[in-house]
Amino acid sequence: MKIIYRHHVAARLAHWIWALAILVLVMSGLQIFNAAPYLDASDKSDPARRVLAFDAERTATGPAGYTVVFGRRVRTTHVLGYADDGFGAEGVRAFPAWLTLPGPQDLADGRRWHLLFAWVLFVSWVAYLLAAAAHGTLRDLVLRPRDVARAGPMLLYYLRVRREPPAHGTYNPLQKITYNVVVFVFFPLLMLTGLALSPGIDAAAPWLTPLLGGRQFARTWHFTLMVLLIGYFATHLALVVSTGFLNNMRSMVTGWYVLGRHDGVGP
């Protein structure tokens, strides 16, 4: 059994701060979204360019909630459109109260949570990058051409076509690609698309909002990136559980990790 010190303290701290920040940002973001439960691919609001909407209506069998994706209407009563209102009943709400922060409809406090944890994410992101760069561990994370070349063999290993994983460092090639996308693409884009919604930012940095297709489009990108991040989180969780849950958790808390058969050792 070979034990290695896998995660530097900066990475472990950043990991848990980000996990908390993303949880709060998603829940408060859904609270904010509920105040205008539709997304348009345009600058100003434009129902003709609506890509997603939630609504509710009375039917013979009681109130019904709907999700409208690119004009296709799907009944989603009790879950989306007409759902938990946070007071033990149901009401017209895009996302249910159990998913939002605060629970009941409260745009003002939803914004307070969201803007505070946007700062938490931004500051911890910058601090992590500086600490990891200073310590040298950022090199283990940053994607190199050889990682891309090894992504195919690693995928074959995951699919059980290949018996051995390709040689790799702290993170395997697919992990590296994924983490690079999250840390260097999703995070900055989430911050920029969020900032692009603000009239003060739009005046101070007038290049940003038009670059994203306008304010409503920026809102659509911001939401889309959240969906992608949740997709990442689900995959991440599945892999954490399936590749030795306790070993993975211990390494993300203490730093120490027991090398297993999945870990191709090499440069």
Partner 1 sequence: MNRGLFVATSLSAIGLAGCASVKRTLTDGPFRDVLLSTEKLNRAVIGTHGLAREYAPSDIDHTFRVNSLDTPSDDAYTSMALDGFRRYRLAVDGRVERAQQLSLAELRAAGTRTQITRHDCVEGWSQIGEWAGVPLATVLAMARPTRDARFCVFHCLDSDQSGTRYYESLDLTQAAHPQTILALDLNGKPLDADHGAPVRLKIPTQLGYKSAKWVQRIELVAALKPIGGGNGGYWEDQGYEWYAGI
Interacting residues toward partner 1 by CB under 8 A? 32-33, 35-36, 43-45, 86, 97-98, 101-103, 106-109, 111-113, 115-116, 119, 195, 197-206, 209-210, 215-216, 219
- In whole angstroms, the minimum distance from the beta carbon of 68 to partner 1 comes to 16
Nearer to partner 1, 79 or 197 (CB): 197
SS (H, E, C) 66-131: EEEECCEEEECCECCEEEECCCCCEEEECCCHHHCCCCCCCHHHHHHHHHHHHHHHHHHHHHHHHH
**What is the nearest approach in angstroms of partner 1 to the Cβ of residue 212?**
13
Nearer to partner 1, 159 or 246 (CB): 246
Q: Which is nearer to partner 1, 11 or 196 (CB)?
A: 196
- Smallest gap from Cβ 219 to partner 1, in A, equals 6
Helix 215-242 and helix 187-195: axis angle, to 10°? 150
Name which of 185 and 241 has its Cβ closer to partner 1: 241
Q: Which helix (H) or strand (E) holds 3?
A: strand 3-5
Q: Which is nearer to partner 1, 102 or 169 (CB)?
A: 102
d(CA 65, CA 49): 21
- Minimum distance between the CB of residue 207 and partner 1, rounded to whole angstroms? 11
Q: Shortest gap between Cβ of 35 and partner 1 (angstroms)?
A: 4
Residue with tokens 């996308």: 181
